[in-house]
Amino acid sequence: MDGGALHEEFIARDELGMSGPYVEPRSETERRLAALWAQHLAVAPVGVEDDFFELGGDSLLAAEVQVAIDTEFGVEIEAAAVFLAPTVAALAEAVRRAPDTAGADG
């Protein structure tokens, strides 16, 4: 997940007129999730309280993000966490709660 090379094509978060202030990731999980969102949305930086859809995401992209999170963290997070009111902070919590599938076929 090396976003550095792509950063020139990224949209700066400031240009989106987000409704809330930027909140920095506070844990390793939040940092990884924010990086993963940034990759999928081509927006940087991603704040942990930012809404996925407000950042320009749509339901199709959310589906790709769900699968990417499952793969990256070796878990199965609830779909509701990804599609309904998704923030990096909430997803980090969902990843923590999710059953571990590491080693499972899939």
Partner 1 sequence: MTVDLADPALYARGDPHAVWRALRRADPVHWQPGTGGPGFWSVVRYEDVQRVLSDHTRFTSERGTLLNLLGRGDPAGGRQLAVTDPPRHDRMRAPLHRALKPRSVQAHTGVIRDGIRALLPGRDRPEFDLAAVCGLLPLTVLGPLLSLPEADRPHLVRLALMSAAEEDPAVQLPQGPAATLHRAHRELFAYFADLVRERRRRPRGDLVDVLLAMEVDGVRLTPGEVLSNCYSLLLGAGVTLAHVPTAAVAELSRDGGYEAWAADPGLLAGGVEEALRWASPAGHFMRHARHDTVLAGVPVAAGDAVVAWLGAANRDPAVFAGPDVFDPARSGNRHLAFGAGPHYCVGAGIARVTLRLFFAELFARYASLRLAGEPVRARSTFLSGYLQMPVRAGFRGRGKEQR
25 vs 52, which CB is nearer to partner 1? 52
Dump the DSSP string for 16-61: G--SS------SHHHHHHHHHHHHHHTEESPPTT--TTTTT--HHH
Q: What backbone torsions phi and psi does residue 75 show, to the nearest 5 degrees?
A: -135, 175
x/- contact string, 40-59, with partner 1 (CB under 8 A)?
-------------x----xx
By CB under 8 A, is residue 61 in contact with partner 1? yes
10 vs 83, which CB is nearer to partner 1? 83
Q: How far is the CB of 82 from partner 1 (least distance, A)?
A: 7
